[in-house]
Amino acid sequence: MTRILLRNKLDDCIAAWQKAGFSVLAPVKRHEMSSFGEVRKADEMALDLVLTERTIKDQFFPQTEPLIKYKIGKHQIDSETMTPPEKKRVFFGVRPCDASGLAIDDPLFGWDYKDDYWFGRRENSVIVTIACSQADDFCMCTSVKLSPDSTKGADVMLRPLSDGSGWQVEAMSDRGTALVETISSLLQESSAEAAPVPQVAEKFDVEKVMEWLADKENFESQFWKDIALRCVGCGSCTFLCPTCHCFDIQDEGDTYQGIRRKNWDSCSFALFTMHTSGHNPRNTQSTRWRQRIMHKFNYYQGKFGVNSCTGCGRCTRQCPVDMGITETLQAITNLPR
């Protein structure tokens, strides 16, 4: 017997969480784009999407974020730190790959300096993951050792029942337990079976990939030049990635006042590494593409012991020229050694 939440209790569930002081965010499709947005009613949720186009990362690390407001006076500079308002949030219907993304980025934002903007939001948020019941051609979580029912990053894990009427509920953390407590009267005991997890074929051998990347001989390999030829160097694979986290600090304003902001930046951009002198150490798209792959499957691993990819497949799904990491990693897997 496990506790289950029925779909028809979702409205009550949202109400209960709101009563407990939470905003509820879930996958929504608005203005032709799917993302996580605040919902008040269950029917606003788009729970049958394989994956939202935008990731949940946006909600913790927004594309642009004000940090400091400043005014330059004659003799002094006045500045004021801008911090996001504290807001308790429940993220309902997060996919395992997106939830993993948060867990993967945690060490990055807390490593030499604790990023209050990230952790302020993390600590006030509860992640309710729903295991996948479908996958598309681009999903590849299993290739990076995750799975369609991975609980990584989840505070509460929901597993769809095979008749589609609801989900099995399991709390995975203290925050999750507390959240489940707020809806305990809406749950019921049941022996209903969970639906089978979809099969996601492994597309590449991540061990082999990591081994090849770790070999310094390969850094200057012709392989990089060939594989990245068609990359046009937009930032969409990085901006839609649940783990890409590069940013740039910009002062926006005039001579006397302004706002310092933290804006997304992308290693795909030619400007990313451009020096003031005009010298650019990564002066071709292939070196930029190599950076993206190396960062995810070598450097990040070396620093934090985990690969910076959740296998969500977005980088391939939306690439205007059908690139994405899958093809590259497949090609590396198949290289003669």
Partner 1 sequence: MGIQEQYRSEAAALLSSGEVKLVIGFGAGSTADRRRPLFARTPEEAQKFVLDAACIANLSTYLVAEGLLSDGKKVGVFLKPDGIRSVNILISEAQLKPEQVVILGYAIESGKDVAALEGRNISDFSIGEKIRKLTPPPHVIEAAEKIEAMSAEERFEYWKEEFSKCIKCYACRQVCPMCYCRRCIVDVNQPQWVSTSSHTLGNFEWNLVRAFHLAGRCASCGACDRACPVNIPLRLVNYRMGKEVRSAFDYVAGENSDQKPVLASFKQDDPETFIL
Partner 2 sequence: MSDPFEPKIVAFVCTYCTYAGADLAGTSRLKYAPNVRIVRLPCTGRISPMFILKALQKGADSVLVSGCHPGDCHFTSGNYHARRRWTVFRALLSFTGIPEERIRFSWISAAEGAKFAELINEITDDTRKLGPFTQYQELQKVIETQSSY
Report the interface residues with ligand SF4, using CB under 6 A: 231-234, 236-237, 241-243, 268, 296, 309-315, 319-321, 323, 325
Of 173 and 284, which CB lies nearer to partner 1 in the complex structure?
284
Residues that bind partner 2 (CB under 8 A): 59, 62, 64-66, 69, 82-85, 87, 121, 252, 259
Q: Is 236 in the site for partner 1 (CB under 8 A)?
A: yes
The DSSP H or E segment spanning 292 is helix 285-294
CA 171 – CA 158 distance, rounded (Å)? 9
Residues 6+ apart with CB under 8 A from 31: none
Residue from 12, 235, 306, 331 binding partner 1 (CB under 8 A): 235
Q: How far apart are CA 218 and CA 331, in angstroms?
A: 13
Q: Mark residues 303-322: x for contact with partner 1 by CB under 8 A, - for none.
A: -------------x-x-xxx
Among 124, 165, 263, 333, binds partner 1 (CB under 8 A): 263
Q: What is the CA radius of gyration of the chain?
A: 22
Residue 22 interacting with partner 1 (CB under 8 A): no
Question: With CB under 8 A as the contact rule, which of the stretches 18-26, 116-124, 226-234, 290-298 interacts with partner 1?
Answer: 226-234
Among residue numbers 46 through 65, which ones bind partner 1 (CB under 8 A)?
A: 53-54, 63-64
Angle at which helices 96-109 and 116-123 cross, to 10°: 140
* Residue 332, H or E segment: helix 325-334
CB of residue 130 vs ligand SF4: minimum separation in angstroms? 18
Residue 65 corresponds to which amino acid?
E
**Chosen from ligand SF4, partner 1, partner 2, none, partner binding at 85 (C-beta under 5 to 8 Å by type):** partner 2
Q: Is 179 exposed, middle or buried (0-12, 13-18, 19+ CB in 10 A)?
A: buried
User: Residues 193, 195, 196, 198: what is their CA dihedral angle, to the nearest 10 degrees?
Assistant: -170
Name the residues that contact partner 1, by CB under 8 A: 31-33, 53-54, 63-64, 137-138, 229-230, 232-236, 238-240, 248, 250, 252, 261, 263-264, 266, 269, 271, 316, 318, 320-324, 326-327
